[in-house]
């Protein structure tokens, strides 16, 4: 089903789930059902106020009743009508006051925030009279690149180009190139202060879902039922725990200690014991525990004076327990807050919702007792059905909710403070725009989120195009990396097709940082009330009493009723979904063991696409696939037509999925070539007899179906289980699993072409390969992510043999002539930025060549490459400490710069090269910042030619550094005169079991002779037998070995050498970026010890073990030299009198030494010794 995957990636972005999430969140005039509008409609100024309205205090408004409505009007509690909040196009307010629409490229270049204004419509009602509504800007929203608010989307791009007199009739690709964008950039990130930042998806436990498990407490297993109750932005954990005596206690958030279940249920309005019994009971075996709890609550010894019998008794017990000794009014308020606000907030926060909460607690207890009796299994926290993913839109939802609440509270305060009887209220001056903007931008720029989470927003990884895509599809777990959490790190069966099994870091983050599989969708969520109405029409009953003949129905984790035939209900709901009667966001599962129907339509579920199969055949047809290929229908149409559906991990528990629809013969009946799934096409899906097409010869032949009547679905393609990075690896199924994980990690470090507009980008640092090549052995996924346009590697001719010990321990021997021809050559770019800052008092920095009058000015030769404005010429050669931008600044302090009364001397503050780098000035960009001060960006290009110690790796986890660069005439050569580019060690292969590496070498060799690309896609790549037969066909040996001759002696080597062509990647770990040495240099002021780190020209730590080696050798003077002279040796003056020995330092009077001793005598008077002072090194 190659067509399906191709169409999906043609119409959707690889990071589509992030962009869709942002589009669902952000408010626009054409979409009223967005998350921002919902937040505005739900926001209350305080807990007692109505949502969506500010009511000013009459005592501060002269007795007037003034209401400001910011939410939509409500009908029966449901908001309706036109939106009251929306986000406009991204713009920047210049220092001149003008507002201009901006592009992502301009934001990067000028170090701006890529944001769009948030507008809100406010209606003022004064003493019942409504005034004209006002539209006011309340702040700026960070804009995701390529989302619907972005300048690059649809009509916004056209209007921008029209305003700037650009090519209106050009293609979309040409328009993007005109405004400096990479046409193939995926988007999905934000730009804050010129830096690209990504909001990484978070994995969390599902809210409002009862989870039961055993917990270890004092070496005994305790049954616990938990629910993370969530409503709006508030999340609270309520848990039930059964003690060894059978008593069930409830822990309520924001309240210390636990409350007995029965007492809490009575306080919530379920006063009768038989009601409590019925809400919990499902099996006779439960009776002893239920009765024990009921009797316990009536026991006057435990709950004096008369036990807890009525609801009033229960309330009195809670008041006494949690607000003892307080006033009656306070006690009542405390208990009502506990029951209405803290306990299970997702069920409501009003007193009339209490009975519903009592029923819910009964159901939680039932699940707990079912676990105790062995009827129900422990819930698996690592099952993806119990997890939800928070994407960029969901995380911004949390941030915006908090910031908007602050804006509304501040608005009320400002209006009450500035109220004037004559002028009335002025809305525009009362809104502080910076409040919302600062809250959003602070979190975006630091990564510190609501709830104390850190690292949510991260700098986008731009090392290579693949690493960028991987970063945008990353999913992180909130678990701490310092603890074991073995189960959480393990690969879970439900992650099949949803999370990549191989792409995860090695080390402490292993299994906690994950990456999405290739084809996924994250549910956006729909209104559950519509689904509930639909279920009632399907025969859902609302009963308070348990009936053993019916099945329970759960919607988004909440119990909604019973059904007489749960299996039939499940079948009907699926049928309605496939026919388009209800949303395809709905997923349903029937659990035969507990007769429960579990329905989900909430957001954050990872879903994957599957083809529907019935009666041993798929529902999709040849006609549908043809229309899909021609663009007449989309993937969404296929879902509506019931041919394909998105399945979450909960529903997948019910399914029987076929991996393949048909079996393959070993060779084509017509052309007798080796057959594999990559060259065979299924021509007639949906028909009884399967017909296959050989793409090599065009021959058609029948095949045996693997689908049976039991199969419910068919995989679109098993290759979709991998993520973007692991899909780059050819033949991964032939490698040891840890090597694939290593290969995925190193692919993200490979240097290539990260973006096609790199010439005009101003990234702080970046590596680019000079001559990147397309790989000869490819995977189909490379076409989907356009890897050929941005490759990251080169095809090397490789021989596997040892070479005089220079390739021992994974080292690589390089051919010097190949390096001189451009093999592995790359460039490193670093951008230096200078700005003419303005200071208080009207002073500012200036770009100029500093004169000798300037404090700290350098010698003239340092400024030789600068023009008259103090800016360096392009293509100048620069090295360590050379000046790139001449700049002078005003003095820091009044006394700085000579005489107090004379003119103040400016100080030198030029931008210089890093001390250990050299290169050529590639680009000089002059622009202005938001505050209209000049900015210069100097881009320096450093050529990086492969040298000893540079790291290279194949796509199979075979990494190594260059051990020797050998002259071509000294390298071994084949009978045909082929000299390998590199030689790798034979020991690298057997123990690591990277057979994929060997297959790729053979494949690359065949590709060079055949003149076509070899397919190495997982599960359907060209098989080994086919490749080896082609080797023979082109005159090579079947085993790909060749006779080779020693380049130095000319003698034939005794062993046959395995050779081939393989794609190697240059990694960004290079000697030029790590090499560091120093003798004496800068020291810290406080300790006088050498500074730390290469960037500060720091010292090299000569540690305890290194010291031990010199002691073992008896090299005393070397130790002294290392630990004193070259580290923190300093000279002290000591009084020469043997009886004194006081420590001296420079005195205030010239020519004297001041002595510090206990008695603090001055000059030479410490002991009367006047002449003899000795120096000591310390």
Please confirm, yes or no, whether 1056 is among the known catalytic residues: no
Q: Confirm if 905 and 936 have CB atoms less than 8 A apart.
A: no
**16-25 vs 392-417: helix axis angle to the nearest 10?**
20
Residue 317: strand, helix, or coil: helix
Q: Please state the separation of Cα 72 from the chain's center in Å.
A: 34
CA-CA distances (angstroms) from residue 55 to 64, 124, 411, 820? 11, 10, 11, 77
Q: What are phi and psi of 94, to 5 degrees?
A: -75, 170
DSSP run (H or E) holding 614: strand 606-614
Q: Confirm if 141 and 40 have CB atoms less than 8 A apart.
A: no
- Give residues with Cβ within 8 angstroms of 802, minimum separation 6: 808, 985, 986
Q: Please state the separation of Cα 806 from the chain's center in Å.
A: 41
Q: Confirm if 378 and 221 have CB atoms less than 8 A apart.
A: no
Return d(Cα 750, Cα 790) in angstroms, integer. Answer: 12
Strand order in the sheet with 877-878: 765-769, 826-835, 934-944, 919-928, 877-878
Return d(Cα 381, Cα 387) in angstroms, integer. Answer: 8
DSSP assignment string, 121-132: EEEEEETTEEPP
DSSP assignment string, 201-254: EEEEEPTT--EEEEEEETTEEEEEEEEEEEETTEEEEEEEEE-TTS-EEEE-TT
Return d(Cα 889, Cα 908) in angstroms, integer. Answer: 6
Q: Please state the separation of Cα 168 from the chain's center in Å.
A: 36
- Give residues with Cβ within 8 angstroms of 227, minimum separation 6: 208, 209, 210, 211, 237, 238, 239, 344, 364, 557
Q: Confirm if 264 and 271 have CB atoms less than 8 A apart.
A: no
Q: How many CB atoms lie within 10 A of CB 163?
A: 10
**445 is written with which tokens?**
């720029």
Q: For 816-929, where are the E strands, in sequence order?
A: 826-835, 846-847, 877-878, 883-885, 887-889, 907-908, 911-912, 919-928
Residue 197: HSE in the Cβ half-sphere, 13 Å Cα cutoff? 26
Closest to 472 (Cα-Cα) out of 856, 35, 964, 17 = 17
Q: Confirm if 574 and 602 have CB atoms less than 8 A apart.
A: no
Dihedral-angle region of residue 447 (phi above 0 means left; psi in -120 to 50 means alpha; beta otherwise): left
Return d(Cα 918, Cα 718) in angstroms, integer. Answer: 49
Return d(Cα 1046, Cα 1054) in angstroms, integer. Answer: 10
What own/partner pairs with CB < 8 Å and gap ≥ 24 does 1011-1016 have? 1013/774, 1013/775, 1013/776, 1013/777, 1013/778, 1014/730, 1014/776, 1014/777, 1014/778, 1015/678, 1015/679, 1015/777, 1015/778, 1015/779, 1015/780, 1016/730, 1016/731, 1016/777, 1016/778, 1016/779
Q: What is the largest CA-CA distance in the chain?
A: 116
Question: Which of these is catalytic: 810, 1046, 1056, 1128?
Answer: 810
**1024-1033 vs 995-1010: helix axis angle to the nearest 10?**
40
Q: Are strands 982-984 and 794-800 parallel, antiparallel or unpaired?
A: parallel
Return d(Cα 776, Cα 755) in angstroms, integer. Answer: 22
Q: How many CB atoms lie within 10 A of CB 527?
A: 11
Which amino acids are annotated catalytic? 810
């Amino acid at each position: 089903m190659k067509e399906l995957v191709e169409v999906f990636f043609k119409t959707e972005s690889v990071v589509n789930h992030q962009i869709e999430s942002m589009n669902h969140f952000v408010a626009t005039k054409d979409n009223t059902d967005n998350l921002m509008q919902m937040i505005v409609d739900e926001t209350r100024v305080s807990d007692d106020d109505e949502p969506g309205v500010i009511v000013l205090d009459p005592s501060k408004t002269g007795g007037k009743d003034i209401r400001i409505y910011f939410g939509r009007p409500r009908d029966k509690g449901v908001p309706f009508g036109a939106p009251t909040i929306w986000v406009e196009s991204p713009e920047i307010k210049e220092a001149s006051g003008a507002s201009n629409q901006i592009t992502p490229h301009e934001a990067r270049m000028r170090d701006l925030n890529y944001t769009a204004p948030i507008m809100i419509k406010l209606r003022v009602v004064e003493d019942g009279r409504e005034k004209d509504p006002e539209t006011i800007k309340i702040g700026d929203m960070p804009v995701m690149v390529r989302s619907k608010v972005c300048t690059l989307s649809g009509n916004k791009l056209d209007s921008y180009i029209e305003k700037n007199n650009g090519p209106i009739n050009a293609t979309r690709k040409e328009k993007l190139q005109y405004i400096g964008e990479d046409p193939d950039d995926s988007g999905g990130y934000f730009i804050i202060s010129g830096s690209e930042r990504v909001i990484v998806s978070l994995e969390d436990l599902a809210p409002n879902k009862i989870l039961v498990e055993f917990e270890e407490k004092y070496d005994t297993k305790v049954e616990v039922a938990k629910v993370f109750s969530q409503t709006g932005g508030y999340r609270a954990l309520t848990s039930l725990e059964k003690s060894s005596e059978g008593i069930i206690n409830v822990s309520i958030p924001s309240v210390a200690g636990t409350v007995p279940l029965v007492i809490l249920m009575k306080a919530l309005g379920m006063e009768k014991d038989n009601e409590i019994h019925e809400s919990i009971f499902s099996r006779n075996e439960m009776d002893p525990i239920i009765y024990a709890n009921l009797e316990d609550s009536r026991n006057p010894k435990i709950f004096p004076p008369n036990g807890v019998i009525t609801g009033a008794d229960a309330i009195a017990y809670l008041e006494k327990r949690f607000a003892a000794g307080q006033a009656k009014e306070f006690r009542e308020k405390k208990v009502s807050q506990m029951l209405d606000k803290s306990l299970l907030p997702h069920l409501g926060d009003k007193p009339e919702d209490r009975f519903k909460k009592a029923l819910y607690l009964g159901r939680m207890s039932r699940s707990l007792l079912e676990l105790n009796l062995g009827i129900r299994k422990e819930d698996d926290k690592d099952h993806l059905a119990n997890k939800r993913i928070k994407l960029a839109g969901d995380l911004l939802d949390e941030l915006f909710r908090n910031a908007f609440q602050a804006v509304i509270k501040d608005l009320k305060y400002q209006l009450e403070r500035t109220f004037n009887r004559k002028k009335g209220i002025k809305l525009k001056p009362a809104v502080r725009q910076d409040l919302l903007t600062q809250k959003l931008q602070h979190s975006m720029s630091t990564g510190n989120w609501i709830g104390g989470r850190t690292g949510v927003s991260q700098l986008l990884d731009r090392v290579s195009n693949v690493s960028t895509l991987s970063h945008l599809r990353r999913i992180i777990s909130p678990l701490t990396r310092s603890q074991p959490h073995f189960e959480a790190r393990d690969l879970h069966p439900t992650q099949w097709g949803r999370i990549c099994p191989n792409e995860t870091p090695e080390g402490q983050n292993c299994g906690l940082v994950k990456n999405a599989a290739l084809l996924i969708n994250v549910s956006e969520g729909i209104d559950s009330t519509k689904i509930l109405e639909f279920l009632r029409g399907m025969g859902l009953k609302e009963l308070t009493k348990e009936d053993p003949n019916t099945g329970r129905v759960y919607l988004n984790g909440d119990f909604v009723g019973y059904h007489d035939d749960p299996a039939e209900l499940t079948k009907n709901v699926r049928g309605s979904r496939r026919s388009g009667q209800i949303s395809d966001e709905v997923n349903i599962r029937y659990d035969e063991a507990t007769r429960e129907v579990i329905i989900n339509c909430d957001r954050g579920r990872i879903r994957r696409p599957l083809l529907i199969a019935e009666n041993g055949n798929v529902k999709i047809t040849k006609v549908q696939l043809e229309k899909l290929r021609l663009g007449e229908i989309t993937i969404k149409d296929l879902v509506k037509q019931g041919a394909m559906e998105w399945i979450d991990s909960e529903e997948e528990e019910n399914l029987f999925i076929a991996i393949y629809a048909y079996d393959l013969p070993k060779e084509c009946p017509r052309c007798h070539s080796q057959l594999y799934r990559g060259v065979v096409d299924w021509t007639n899906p949906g028909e009884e007899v399967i017909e296959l097409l050989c793409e090599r010869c065009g021959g058609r032949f029948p095949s045996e179906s693997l689908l049976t009547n039991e199969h419910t679905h068919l995989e679109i393609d098993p290759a979709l289980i991998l993520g973007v990075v692991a899909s780059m690896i050819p033949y991964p199924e032939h490698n040891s699993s840890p090597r694939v994980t290593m290969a995925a990690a190193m692919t993200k470090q490979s240097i290539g072409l990260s973006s096609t507009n790199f010439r005009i980008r101003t990234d702080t640092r970046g590596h680019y390969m000079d001559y990147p090549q397309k790989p000869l052995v490819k995977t189909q996924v490379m076409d989907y992510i356009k890897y050929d346009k941005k490759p990251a590697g080169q095809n090397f001719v490789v021989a596997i043999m040892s070479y005089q010990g220079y390739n021992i321990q994974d080292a690589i021997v390089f051919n010097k002539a190949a390096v001189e021809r451009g093999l592995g050559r790359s460039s490193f770019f670093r951008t230096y930025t200078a700005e003419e800052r303005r200071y208080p008092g009207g002073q500012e920095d200036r770009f100029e060549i500093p004169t000798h009058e300037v404090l700290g000015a350098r010698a003239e030769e340092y400024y030789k490459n600068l023009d008259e404005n103090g800016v360096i010429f392009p293509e100048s050669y620069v090295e360590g400490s050379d000046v790139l931008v001449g700049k002078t600044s005003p003095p820091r302090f009044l006394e700085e710069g000579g005489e107090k009364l004379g003119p103040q001397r400016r100080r030198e503050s030029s931008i210089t090269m890093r001390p250990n780098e050299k290169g050529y000035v590639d680009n000089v960009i002059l622009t202005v910042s938001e505050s209209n001060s000049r900015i210069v960006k100097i881009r320096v290009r450093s050529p990086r030619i492969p040298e000893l110690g540079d790291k290279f790796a194949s796509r199979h986890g075979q990494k190594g550094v260059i051990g020797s660069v050998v002259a071509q005439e000294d390298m071994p050569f084949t009978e045909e005169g082929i000299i390998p580019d590199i030689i790798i060690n034979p020991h690298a292969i057997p123990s690591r079991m990277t057979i994929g590496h060997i297959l790729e070498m053979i494949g690359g060799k065949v590709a060079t002779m055949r003149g076509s690309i070899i397919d190495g896609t997982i599960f359907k790549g060209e098989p080994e037998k086919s490749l080896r037969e082609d080797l023979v066909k082109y005159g090579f040996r079947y085993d790909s070995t060749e006779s080779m001759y020693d380049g130095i002696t000319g003698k034939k080597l005794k062993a046959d050498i395995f050779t081939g062509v393989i794609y190697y990647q240059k990694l960004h770990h290079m000697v030029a970026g790590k090499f560091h040495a120093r003798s004496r240099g800068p020291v810290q002021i406080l300790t006088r010890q050498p500074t730390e780190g290469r960037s500060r020209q720091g010292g090299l730590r000569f540690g305890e073990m290194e010291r031990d080696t010199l002691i073992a050798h008896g090299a005393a003077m070397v130790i002294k030299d290392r630990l004193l002279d070259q580290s923190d040796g300093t000279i002290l003056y000591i009084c020469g009198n043997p009886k004194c020995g006081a420590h001296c330092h420079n005195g205030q009077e010239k020519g004297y030494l001041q002595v510090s001793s206990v008695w603090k005598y001055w000059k030479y008077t410490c002991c009367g010794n006047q002449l003899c002072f000795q120096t000591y090194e310390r």
